Homo-oligomer: A and B are copies of this chain.
Amino acid sequence: MSNVRYGIIGIGNMGSAHAKSLQAGEIKGAVVTAVCDGFESKREWAKEHLQGVAVFEDSMAMIDSGLVDAVIVATPHYDHPSEAIRAFGKGMHVLIEKPAGVYVKQVREMNEAAALSGKKFGIVYNQRMNPLYQKLRELVRSGELGEIRRTNWIITNWYRPQAYYDSGTWRATWGGEGGGVLINQCPHQLDLWQWTIGMMPSRIRAFCQMGKHRNIEVENDVTAYAEYANGATGVFITATSEAPGTNRLEVSGDRGKIVIEDGQMTFWRLRESETEFNKRNTSAFGKPECWKFEVPDQGSSPEHTGIIQNFTDAVLRGAELVAPGEEGIDGLTISNAMHLSTWLDGWVDLPFDENLHEAELNKRIAESTFQKTAPAGNSQAADLSGTF
């Protein structure tokens, strides 16, 4: 195979962006040969803007056409696993948009199908391409920061006005998206929260607030507390109704503290680990010596292009995936646990009871009576039907 021939399932906001990027030749060794979408308006758009690309209504017809080696799944969240499972069944390599799905149980089934197929499986966790988070992960893995003691991510700059929520009737509903800020805006941070430090929480106590300053039924304001097996603790805070909001990640370890804020990483590094210092110190008010570093600019992030390039390289040459699809379950597990903790108003140990989570989610879908005002223009609503 000299070129990976991509078919894109769902050409809303993200799918159409991927198609254009591929068609513009931004990915070496990759071409877009087909797209599919259930909406006629989307197919019309594709015929007009994607010259020489076959357009289908149905994903199975697209796959059966023999035109594609790999698919990018960019449908609404709920359909990611089912589309992926069907594609694996047809021998496709599969790259899915985030989130991996809406609930862990369906994602686990997708992971099993991927393993059975032996095909490449990736997820568009483009923030893993950001050199700042890669650097943090490297500093943790190399032991430079020492054993992790605390994490704190304030990611409240996901500002979304009511007009955003009114732009699609499926938006921010239990049936349409299966959640709010945790499912739609935060999957990247929920992934990076565990990927950078290499640890999943062992239990979570979360406080999701639904419809905070917004007329929606799902959560758009979350504070979550996490405990890890090594004794570390963490806090994750997000919101869509605050302006200007904050994006600040702090990670402290036995050898100091790292803060990523405003695209800059600062490292307060202890010359001696806190544990070692504490062991030998005899002064009641002694402190370990600490040096402050501005970690050099790590360069810009290739973002989506980088992820699709990496996936293409994996298909063509067996390159190691930066974001294996199987790992999509980790951030989603945290997200599901935050919902479940709020619903049960108590602790959730990880791994949690997936059937209980699914039942609780289905209860909210069944009880939903949410009716939104139709958006001002239908065309605008259609244009926004992506995953952000």
Residues in chain A within 8 A of chain B (CB atoms): 149-150, 152, 154, 156, 159, 161-164, 167, 205, 207, 209, 212-214, 221, 223, 225, 227, 231, 233, 235, 237, 239, 241-246, 250, 252, 256-257, 259, 268, 270, 274-275, 277-278, 281-288, 290, 376, 380, 384
Contacts and interface: CB of A to CB of B under 8 A. Distances in A.
Nearest to A281: B161
Among A167, A235, A384: residue with most chain B CB under 10 A: A235
Contacts of A149: 213, 241-242
Contacts of A376: 282
B237 A235 contact: yes
A215 to B, nearest CB: 10
Contacts of A284: 161, 163-164, 167, 380, 384
Contacts of A282: 163, 376
11 contacts: A161-B286, A162-B281, A205-B205, A213-B275, A213-B278, A223-B225, A243-B270, A243-B290, A244-B270, A246-B257, A282-B376
A161 B257 contact: no
A237 B252 CA distance: 13
A223 to B, nearest CB: 5
In the assembly, how many copies of this chain are there?
2
Chain A interface helix/strand/loop/mixed: mixed
Among A163, A259, A277, A284: residue with most chain B CB under 10 A: A284
Given A242-B257, A278-B162, A252 B283 contact: no
Nearest to A347: B345
Nearest to A167: B284
Given A205-B207, A209-B233, A243-B288, 15 more contacts: A150-B156, A152-B154, A152-B237, A159-B287, A162-B281, A163-B281, A207-B225, A212-B231, A242-B252, A242-B257, A243-B277, A243-B287, A244-B268, A244-B287, A245-B252
Contacts of A237: 150, 152, 235
A241 B154 CA distance: 22
Contacts of A209: 233
Nearest to A149: B242
A239 B161 contact: no
Contacts of A164: 284-285
Contacts of A214: 278
A278 B244 contact: no
A289 to B, nearest CB: 9
Nearest to A241: B274
Given A225-B207, A252-B156, A161 B278 contact: yes
Contact of A290 (B235, B244, B285): B244
A243 B223 contact: no
Contacts of A244: 256-257, 268, 270, 287, 290
Nearest to A272: B243
A256 B274 CA distance: 37
A162 B161 CA distance: 50
A275 B161 CA distance: 10
**5 tightest A-B contacts by CB?**
A164-B284, A244-B290, A167-B284, A161-B281, A243-B288
